[in-house]
Amino acid sequence: MCGIVGYIGMQEACPILIKGLRRLEYRGYDSAGVSMINEKGELNVFKAKGKVDDLEAFLSDKDISGTIGIAHTRWATHGIPCRENAHPHFSSSGTLSLIHNGIIENYATLKERLIEKGFTFVSDTDTEVLVQLIEYYKLEYKSDLLSAVQRALAQVIGAYAIAVLDKNNPDEIIAARKASPLAIGLGEGEYFLASDATPLVEYTHKVIYLDDDEIAVINRNSGLQIITLQGQAVNHEVSEINLDLGAIEKGGYEHFMLKEIFEQPDCLVNCMRGRINPEGTIVRFSSVIDNAEQLLNARRYIIVACGTSWHAGLIGKTLIENFCRIPVEVAYASEFRYSNPVIGNGDVVIAISQSGETADTLAAIELARSRGAFVYGIVNSVGSSIARNTQTGSYIHVGPEIGVASTKAFTGQVTVLTMLALCIAKERNTITQAELEEALGELLAIPGKMAEVLSQNDAIASLSRTFTYAQNFIYLGRGYNYPVALEGALKLKEISYIHAEGYPAAEMKHGPIALVDAEMPVVVVATNKLLYDKVLSNIQEIKARQGKVIAIVVKGDDTISKLVDYVIELPETAEFLYPLLASVPLQLLAYHIAVCKGKNVDQPRNLAKSVTVE
């Protein structure tokens, strides 16, 4: 949520900042701004409502010179999206400019105090309070910027990644973080700042991830110094970013989301590589081998996650319970963090997150660890806060996901959960070697089968046109397919703004069936072997009320197929692997409906990719 970028070096800062903002636009895109100090020592701030394109147009006749600068793309928390609320924010005297990702929870109290001291405000944001507070301490103690930042941050409750420029010191950027990500790219005589590594990769592969309560002083002459809020020097390891530039570009596709949907077969191959042997006889995770005591003898697993990752967690529950015979609970991280969970030694918490930065999931991890649980992370973003704050874990290795609607991360998460369940089950002897080999054989065949599903893209696109004007949608599934229904509904809501609900199919008769009439499209994931007749009855009940049924069936199905209005066929696989195949046509359906409706598929309204605030 909100993307921040910074640059100091020999090059002109603005083009680098704008390029960086484009890479981070998935984090928020309601307004954007830049601030540079030019050769004359002037501190300029330029901002525009809307996308980075709008900002760039606004900059066309401005003095954007300067080799030091900061920039921001916003996802509104305090105050509507407008130029005044966009970042960077000036301090009252116009000598400081600041960008911020996060939330200052006690901003109202701080603002009141500053108003009493004569400060005035031009925006509704919590961020402006912070820049004024820094200015206040700078003036009050006649101090330099660093000491003022330290004093101000000591007063702040909340989350922040910030960067500040001071007109009186055109050779220095001060940055700090607490619970919001911040990476520093190390170039030759130049430094870059960003919310994640994607803006850095074309300039440098060397990066330092700031930790909580740390401040970076980046000086043109003396280089980089990292200290704690209290001023103690910190030595940081430099990480190497292995990010291919092609992976963060559209590569000929109209949207990132479509590219990411089509990447899934390759992503799953990458995800399985090195974990399953080519013969399909062994599945291994070093995280399981190294932590066998905690993972194999756990009293209970608790999965915490948000949104799509939570849906993957629901599938994980069924997988782990079925294969490993360990009880599993699944909690929304946002609820878990404020509950008083009965949890402790002997419990394993699995935290699932694409971005690795979701504030609620991070807080849930902190709570679980403080109560003695062992925490395992399933994360996509390498080096992210969740990856660093869990005791062990597995990356899903699907590459950067830029489209706000999660697609390949979901199937990557489900694939890791499947392998993890099989690995733990084998170690616990709750499945036989023959069962393991059968399961792994099926899993290894999934990428090929997924490619077959993707080849139906044109047919799904033309089916989507039929539903462009639908007002509501229902998605149904049972067993492993129930979370697939939830995920299908979420995808449609997120990018087409059509109201959609997912239910376990048998729940329909307990209320939701009242919604069904000839105007109601109902998507049924009907691949279940075990519950086939039950799902068939559920479909009959909908048809009896004139609902329009789109059924996802297994190739060769000739009963449900004859009964419903539209059919999408999947290749046959094992029952527990249908979520990996069935989620693909639902992603495509949502994508094409949103495109037909002319929506901004990659940057849907009100959403951000990385939810780093509560």
Answer for which of 97, 127, 287, 354 binds ligand M6R (CB under 6 A) is 354
Residues 473-532 that bind ligand M6R (CB under 6 A): 494
Between 97 and 354, CB nearer to ligand M6R: 354
We find the least distance from the C-beta atom of residue 614 to ligand M6R, in angstroms, to be: 12
Per-residue binding string, ligand M6R, 290-329, x by CB under 6 A, is: ----------------xxxx--------------------
CA 388, 393, 399, 405 torsion: positive or negative?
negative
**Any bridge partners for residue 74, and if so which?**
31
- C-alpha 360/C-alpha 150 separation (Å) is 26
Return the amino acid letter for 577. L
Answer for which of 405, 551, 588, 595 binds ligand M6R (CB under 6 A) is 405
Task: Tell whether residue 283 is a contact of ligand M6R (CB under 6 A).
Answer: no
How do strand 328-332 and strand 374-379 relate by DSSP bridges?
Answer: unpaired
E strands in 211-286: 214-219, 223-228, 239-240
Residue 609 annotated in active site: yes
Per-residue binding string, ligand M6R, 250-269, x by CB under 6 A, is: --------------------
Between 221 and 606, CB nearer to ligand M6R: 606
Helical spans, DSSP H, in 41-125: 52-59, 107-116
CA 264, 267, 269, 272 torsion: positive or negative?
negative
Contacts of residue 235, Cβ cutoff 8 Å, sequence gap at least 6? 226
CB atoms under 10 Å from CB of 82, counted, come to 15
Residues 44-103 that bind ligand M6R (CB under 6 A): none
Residue 82 annotated in active site: no
How do strand 347-353 and strand 521-525 relate by DSSP bridges?
Answer: unpaired
Tell me which residue of 399, 413, 238 sits closest to 317, measured CA to CA. 413
Residue in the block written with tokens 């596709």:
253
Between 150 and 198, CB nearer to ligand M6R: 198
We find the least distance from the C-beta atom of residue 290 to ligand M6R, in angstroms, to be: 24
Residues 19-38 that bind ligand M6R (CB under 6 A): none
Instruction: Find the residue with minimal CB distance to ligand M6R.
Output: 307
Q: Which of 2, 267, 306, 423 is catalytic?
A: 2
Q: Which of 47, 408, 426, 609 is catalytic?
A: 609
We find the least distance from the C-beta atom of residue 464 to ligand M6R, in angstroms, to be: 18
Q: If you count them, how many residues does the chain have?
A: 614
Over its C-alpha atoms, the chain yields an Rg (Å, rounded) of 26
Answer for which of 132, 198, 294, 358 binds ligand M6R (CB under 6 A) is 358
With beta carbons less than 8 A apart as the criterion, state whether 500 and 492 touch.
Answer: yes
Task: Tell whether residue 385 is a contact of ligand M6R (CB under 6 A).
Answer: no
Residues 585-614 that bind ligand M6R (CB under 6 A): 607, 610-611
With beta carbons less than 8 A apart as the criterion, state whether 547 and 470 touch.
Answer: no
- Interface residues with ligand M6R (CB under 6 A) are 306-309, 353-355, 358, 361, 404-406, 494, 607, 610-611
Q: Among all residues, which ones are annotated catalytic?
A: 2, 609
